[in-house]
Amino acid sequence: MGLGTPAITGAAGNIGSVVREALRGEVERLILLDRVPLRPEAENEDVRTVDLRDATAVESALAGADRVLHLGGVPDEAPLPDLLEANVLGTHHVLEAARRAGMARVVLAGSNRVTGFYPAGHRTAPHEPVRPDGLYGVSKAAVEALGQLYADKFGLSVLCLRIGSFEQAPTEPRHLATWLSPRDAVGYARAALTAPPSPGFAAVYAVSNNTRRFWELPDPAVLDYVPVDDAELHADGIPGAEAQVDPAAPQAGPYALPEFTLRHLRP
């Protein structure tokens, strides 16, 4: 299956911007959605301003797309009401628009933070139970549950990418395990959008091929993409890279600390 006419929500974000630049040369038309106004950078770009909390507006903005890469939402820890509104309700609106339009594929932006409390010494697989490291992780677990529901109940083809630490280059010790390079982010997005559609749901970790990674790479039968970058090549420039990681410590690192979430709760 080719790229068809894909839409990208959250197209102004860090990952959305990189994927946008890579894919626009491969499609006749690229539909770009964000809550902030975008300007077309090529003749085949169709830019649309939309608030994902507005179901009618989302359906209208996705008109003409035959698949969607849903990157929009709150990208980090925040008060739960904000996360539910932007991440969970917004995803529901995207899935519902996809169902009504009969889209071939929905790709959801999940997060490694749905399993942040697994120990660093454990290589985690997508089929293992979620262990969110915070409220953000909870919202992304709900995103996955919605994807599963729409696949089981309505026959959508839904793939969730549990995204690692997206950075131009790794800058801290944890990134040696969790880094997702721009090149691999594009590779995962392209593979997910073009994989042959089949009714069902699957989650995979979108992470570079890091020597120290915490998570299993995708099963080729689920997503046929092998990442090419390895954070280890940057280790010499990262302070503390030589320190031993406690195998019993949470994979989430500082995100697992109570303080990370307490500041978003009522005092």
The one catalytic residue among 136, 188, 225, 255 = 136
Percent of the residues in the chain that have a pLDDT greater than 70, as a whole number: 100
Q: What is the 3-state secondary structure (H, E, C) of the chain?
A: CCCCCEEEECCCCHHHHHHHHHHCCCCCCEEEEECCCCCCCCCCEEEEECCCCCHHHHHHHCCCCCEEEECCCCCCCCCHHHHHHHHHHHHHHHHHHHHHHCCCEEEEEEEHHHHCCCECCCCECCCCCCCCCCHHHHHHHHHHHHHHHHHHHHCCEEEEEEECEECCCCCCCCHHHHEECHHHHHHHHHHHHHCCCCCEEEEEEECCCCCCCCECCCCCCCCCCCCCCCHHHHHHHCCCCCCCCCCCCECCHHHHCHHHHHCCCCC
pLDDT band at 123 (very low <50, low <70, confident <90, very high): very high
Mean pLDDT of 244-265: 97
> How many domains does one find in the chain?
1
| Within a domain: 160 | yes
pLDDT band at 1 (very low <50, low <70, confident <90, very high): low
pLDDT band at 170 (very low <50, low <70, confident <90, very high): very high
| Within a domain: 164 | yes
Mean pLDDT of 129-158: 98
What was the pLDDT predicted at 198? 83
| Within a domain: 195 | yes
Of how many residues is the chain composed?
A: 267
What was the pLDDT predicted at 196? 85
Residue owning tokens 């996955």: 144
Mean pLDDT of 234-243: 96
| Within a domain: 1 | no
Q: Which of 107, 101, 38, 95 is nearest to 70 (CA)?
A: 107
Q: Check which CATH number belongs to the domain holding 95 and give it.
A: 3.40.50.720
- 225 as an active site residue: the answer is no
Average confidence score pLDDT of the chain: 97
Residue 40: pLDDT above 90? Answer: yes
CB 201 within 8 A of CB 246: no
| Within a domain: 22 | yes
Residue 202: pLDDT above 90? Answer: yes
| Within a domain: 222 | yes
The strand order across the sheet containing 6-9 reads 45-49, 30-34, 6-9, 67-70, 105-111, 157-163, 200-206
Bigger pLDDT: 252 or 1?
Answer: 252
Percent of the residues in the chain that have a pLDDT greater than 90, as a whole number: 97
Q: What is the 3-state secondary structure (H, E, C) of 116-180?
A: CCCECCCCECCCCCCCCCCHHHHHHHHHHHHHHHHHHHHCCEEEEEEECEECCCCCCCCHHHHEE
What was the pLDDT predicted at 194? 95
Mean pLDDT of 55-84: 98
| Within a domain: 267 | no
pLDDT band at 267 (very low <50, low <70, confident <90, very high): confident
CB 179 within 8 A of CB 210: yes
Q: Which domain holds residue 139?
A: 6-262
